[in-house]
Amino acid sequence: MKRIQVRAYGKINLCLDVLRRLENGYHEVEMVMQQILLHDDVDVKWSEGTRQTRSEADDAFQIEVSTNRPYLPRDERNLAYKAAKQMYLAYGAERQGKVRIDIKKRIPVAAGLAGGSCNGAAVLHALNLLWGLRLKLPELCAVGAELGSDVPFSLMGQAKANPELGLADEPMASHCAIARGTGTDLEPIAGLKSHLLLTKPPMGVSTAEVYKGLELDSITEHPNIAELKEALAGKNYRKIQKNMVNVLENFTLTRYPKVMYTKNKVKRLLGEEAVLMSGSGPTIFALCKTREEAQHACEQLKKENRETFWTRTTY
Ligand SMILES: C[C@](O)(CO)[C@H](O)COP(=O)(O)OP(=O)(O)OC[C@H]1O[C@@H](n2ccc(N)nc2=O)[C@H](O)[C@@H]1O
Ligand SMILES: Nc1ncnc2c1ncn2[C@@H]1O[C@H](COP(=O)(O)OP(=O)(O)OP(=O)(O)O)[C@@H](O)[C@H]1O
């Protein structure tokens, strides 16, 4: 039996713009994704099986998933399961044996923090290593893009932050990226060094519902991605904050008043500028100047939202 543990980090979107609706129902986006230290632990074991007869071949490759969240599916609906299946189909033909995946979750579920995507990405990295495939990031990202729009970014961030994967020096490995297309065309850029407060109101939000419900014509404020990229490289916090715009707020904050309430509450605690919803929500994050500031706000907000965390970006 071979085994590896991958730290599956979450992400925040420092900005998110939707450019247009595509014919397949997806949306062309332009956004900056930043990896955060809050992570799940994904433990992957591979037990090689013995050669079976042709009639037994259907059962010759098995996947088992467990998590510490009893309400999460453990079958093919789990992104970690899907990732193992996808890797088997792409690169595992003829392999016989069992993939056992144990996930210790800390990242809130359906929160806009790529909690599922990063579990899927971790399994792709793990099997790449356990099967000795030696795939580079672009090849892994091609498999990841089939699983979900946030998976390729999770792969590049994990490559940087899990040096034992042996991919940290690849050009695509990065804690931060501009994502274009449907979110899978990635350009590594200089990231943000900041303490963070994260707070998730007690509901899950469906990404599909948010994109579908967004009225593109009524959006008035857009981020300037080029300016944000420059500001990140120059550590110009004023310009970073100015471009912290997420157009998906137009839907989620109106549809879910509790998310609007939470955003306003965080602003009152930590100031107007550096507060934003991540992804399709409902998690609200704020940049904090110090760890103490993030910790203090966390204590206050935990009374209202149980899933409140202080953390920082990875860098
Ligand atoms: C909101 C973000 O998390 C920001 O990083 C991503 O854009 C969404 O990433 P994700 O949850 O991995 O998304 P997927 O699992 O690929 O898609 C979920 C659903 O979101 C919608 N979707 C997603 C990405 C995209 N560019 N346009 C879309 O319209 C589609 O309806 C899709 O069925
Ligand atoms: N391993 C997993 N961890 C968390 N959720 C999972 C997992 N596998 C499947 N899911 C399902 O995926 C759905 C979305 O959860 P997830 O945590 O990925 O959302 P999210 O943080 O909004 O992700 P994103 O930011 O990529 O849109 C949930 O309904 C959950 O049941």
| DSSP conformational letter for 183 | T
Report the CATH number that the domain containing residue 58 is assigned in CATH.
3.30.230.10
Ligand 1 mutation target, pool 211, 225, 246, 250, most atoms within 8 A of CB = 211
Burial of 21 (0-12, 13-18, 19+ CB in 10 A): middle
33 and 180 in a single domain? The answer is yes
Tell whether 206 and 143 lie within a shared domain.
no
Residue with tokens 């090849």: 139
Same domain, 148 and 263: no
**Separation of first and last alpha carbons in the chain:** 33
105: containing domain? 2-188
Residue ending a domain, choose from 188, 205, 233: 188
293 and 219 in one domain? Answer: yes
pLDDT along the chain (315 residues), means of 10: 98 98 97 98 93 62 97 98 97 92 97 98 98 98 98 98 97 98 98 98 94 96 98 97 98 97 97 94 97 97 97 98
Closest CA to 264 of 315, 190, 199, 172: 199
* Closest ligand to residue 152's CA: 1
> Going by C-beta distance under 8 Å and a sequence separation of 6 or more, which residues neighbour residue 71?
none
Q: Do 210 and 90 belong to one domain? A: no
Long-range CB contact pairs, 242-245, < 8 A, 24+: 242/273, 243/14, 243/15, 244/14, 244/15, 244/273, 244/274, 244/275, 244/276, 245/15, 245/16, 245/17, 245/221, 245/276
Class of residue 199 by CB neighbours under 10 A (exposed 0-12, middle 13-18, buried 19+): buried
Residue indicated by tokens 């699983």: 147
Instruction: Give me the pLDDT at residue 93, please.
Output: 81
Q: 183 and 200 in one domain? A: no
Together in a domain, 38 and 127: yes
Question: Position of tokens 């979750």?
Answer: 105
Residue linked to tokens 């200089």: 190
Q: How many domains are contained in the chain? A: 2
- Domain boundary among the residues 152, 168, 188 is at 188
**144 in contact with ligand 2, CB cutoff 6 A:** no
Q: Which of 79, 82, 200, 309 to mutate to test the pocket of ligand 2 (most atoms within 8 A of CB)?
A: 79
Please give the pLDDT value at position 250: 97
| Same-domain pairing of 82 and 53 | yes
Q: Based on the domain organization, do 38 and 157 belong to the same domain?
A: yes
CA 255, CA 257: separation in Å to the nearest integer?
6
* Domain co-membership, 162 together with 231: no
From 169, 188, 207, give the residue that closes a domain.
Answer: 188
Amino acid letter, 97? G
Q: How far apart are CA 55 and CA 66, in angstroms?
A: 28
pLDDT of 46 reads 98
Distance of CA 252 to the CA centre of its chain: 18
For 18, 108, 120, the CA distances from 75, given in Å and listed in that order, are 32, 19, 13
ipTM, two decimals, is 0.97
pTM over 0.95: yes
Query: So what's the pLDDT on residue 58?
Result: 61
Tokens (6 digits) for 58: 């259907």
Both 94 and 156 in a single domain? yes
Residues 203 and 166 in one domain: no
| Cβ density class 146-185: b for 16+ within 10 Å, e for less | ebbbbbbbbbbbbbbbbeebebeebebbbbbbbbbbebbe
* Protein residue with least CA distance to atom 13, ligand 1: 149
* CATH number of the domain enclosing 296: 3.30.70.890
Residues 6+ away with beta carbon under 8 Å from 250: 214, 215, 218, 219
Question: Residue 8, Cβ neighbours under 10 Å: how many?
Answer: 32
Gap from CA of 90 to ligand 1 centroid (Å): 23
| Cβ(27) – ligand 1 distance below 6 Å | yes
